[in-house]
């Protein structure tokens, strides 16, 4: 292995900055663009940018696995009344795995991306940790990374403040949103992929009484108020029953839940998770999260049950839940139920 690093490279502000920082620190940077959706213009633009920076460049066609693991999952989650987290899944199943595969192929020791996060070593284990820039911290989306990946990962953006980076890139736009939506709303995307997603159904209250109608459960998420039948204005979506094609409506107070269950977990040290009394729970990367610490965490047959000291607002089935202990991510999973 050499002091080479394979860098996930889109040619955007963050990956360019990461490349410059790695070069400054003496690494031989190999830029790798993952072609997830067949966007030739994006790949060509990334290659031109890599050449300007004097980087070795390659592209990898991952369209088939991206479609199977990410796009199909995204679509099916909404059709089943779940709230998907495609970026979390892509990081653990597509992006970092293929960076590591490329590093092994060319004999490079390290892998890196333009993500804002750090890595900490604690009790001989590697942990994802928060970035210095709390406003841009992306550790929430990286809880699924394996020990194998973290042991070879570099974090050039971990101590960078995004506002300072942007001053040097006044001519470049930031990429926003999910890459495969290509500027479309998720509603437009679903309509293109599966027109039969439009299926009218009932909106019911907590007692099961019909109070309105909707045009497809896939278009609604927990906590949503906009787009509801005018007959139920003032209410909020508190539940989605895809099997019955029903939305359950309630009030803001109905969105608070103190007990959550998660499955499909990745936990670094289960003993630490179950015994520590200062574990914070995060259920959305940006926005309202539970205050205080978890009161109790218990092992279940296929995951964990979390009793919160302060209830969580609007958790949704399918959403990631991430465990933090101060700056360290000690694990995460997917919300399967709440109470």
87 carries an active-site annotation: no
What average pLDDT does range 124-131 have in this prediction? 97
pLDDT of residue 175: 59
The third-level CATH classification (topology) of the domain covering 256-338 is: Elongation Factor Tu (Ef-tu); domain 3 (2.40.30)
Lowest mean pLDDT among 9-18, 98-107, 234-243, 284-293: 284-293
What average pLDDT does range 284-293 have in this prediction? 87
Check pLDDT > 90 for residue 171: no
Among residues 80, 90, 194, 265, which one is catalytic? 90
Check pLDDT > 90 for residue 182: no
What average pLDDT does range 212-217 have in this prediction? 91
CATH architecture of the domain 199-250 equals Roll (2.30)
**Band of residue 195 on the pLDDT scale cut at 50, 70, 90:** confident
179 carries an active-site annotation: yes
Residue-averaged pLDDT of the chain:
93
Could you say which of 3.40.50.620, 1.20.1250.20, 2.60.40.10, 3.90.1150.10 is the CATH number of the domain covering 2-181?
A: 3.40.50.620
pLDDT of residue 4: 97
Check pLDDT > 80 for residue 234: no
Check pLDDT > 70 for residue 170: no
Among residues 87, 179, 194, 265, which one is catalytic? 179
What average pLDDT does range 56-79 have in this prediction? 96
What is the residue extent of each domain of the chain? 2-181, 199-250, 256-338
Q: SS3 string of the chain?
A: CEEEEEEECCCCHHHHHHHHHHHHCCCEEEEEEEECCCCHHHHHHHHHHHHHCCCEEEEEECHHHHHHHHHHHHHHHHHCCCCCCHHHHHHHHHHHHHHHHHHHHHCEEEEECCCCCEEEEECCEEEEECCCCCCCCCHHHHCCCCHHHHCCEECCCCCCCHHHHHCCCCCCCCCCCCHHHCCCCHHHHHHHHCHHHCCCEEEECCCCCEEEEECCHHHCCCCCCCCCCHHHCCCEEEEEECCCCEEEEECHHHHEEEEEEEEEEEECCHHHHHHCCCCEEECCCCCCCCCCCEEEEEECCCEEEEEEEEEEECCCCCCEEEEEECCEEEEEEEEEEEC
Give residue-wise pLDDT tens across range 114-127: 999 999 999 999 99
Check pLDDT > 70 for residue 96: yes
């Amino acid at each position: 292995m050499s002091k080479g690093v394979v860098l996930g490279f889109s040619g955007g502000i963050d990956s360019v900055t990461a490349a410059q920082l790695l070069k400054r620190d003496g690494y031989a940077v190999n830029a790798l663009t993952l072609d997830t959706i067949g966007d030739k213009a994006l790949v060509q633009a990334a290659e031109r940018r890599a050449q300007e920076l004097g980087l070795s460049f390659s592209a990898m066609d991952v369209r088939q696995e991206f479609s199977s693991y990410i796009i199909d999952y995204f679509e099916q989650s909404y059709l089943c009344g779940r709230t998907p987290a495609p970026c979390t899944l892509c990081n653990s199943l597509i992006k970092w795995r293929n960076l590591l595969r490329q590093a092994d192929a060319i004999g490079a020791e390290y892998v890196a991306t333009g993500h804002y996060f750090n890595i900490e070593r604690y009790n001989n284990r590697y942990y994802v940790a928060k970035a210095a820039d709390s406003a841009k911290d992306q550790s929430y989306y990286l809880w699924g990374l394996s020990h194998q990946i973290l042991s070879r990962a570099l974090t050039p953006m971990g101590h960078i403040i995004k506002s300072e980076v942007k001053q040097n890139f006044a001519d470049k736009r930031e990429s926003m949103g999910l890459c495969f939506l290509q500027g479309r709303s998720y509603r437009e995307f679903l309509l293109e992929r599966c027109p039969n997603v439009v299926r009218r159904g009932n909106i019911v209250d907590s007692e099961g009484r019909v109070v309105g109608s909707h045009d497809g459960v896939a278009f609604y998420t927990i906590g949503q108020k906009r787009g509801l039948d005018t007959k139920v204005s003032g209410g909020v979506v508190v539940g989605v029953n895809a099997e019955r094609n029903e939305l359950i409506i309630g009030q803001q107070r109905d969105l608070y839940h103190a007990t959550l269950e998660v499955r499909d977990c990745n936990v670094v040290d289960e003993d630490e998770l179950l015994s520590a009394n200062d574990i914070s729970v995060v259920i959305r990367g940006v926005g309202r999260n539970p205050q205080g610490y978890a009161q109790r965490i218990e092992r279940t047959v296929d995951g964990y049950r979390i009793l919160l000291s302060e209830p969580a607002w609007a958790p949704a089935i399918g959403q990631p839940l991430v465990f933090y202990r101060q700056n360290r991510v000690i694990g995460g999973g997917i919300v399967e139920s709440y109470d």
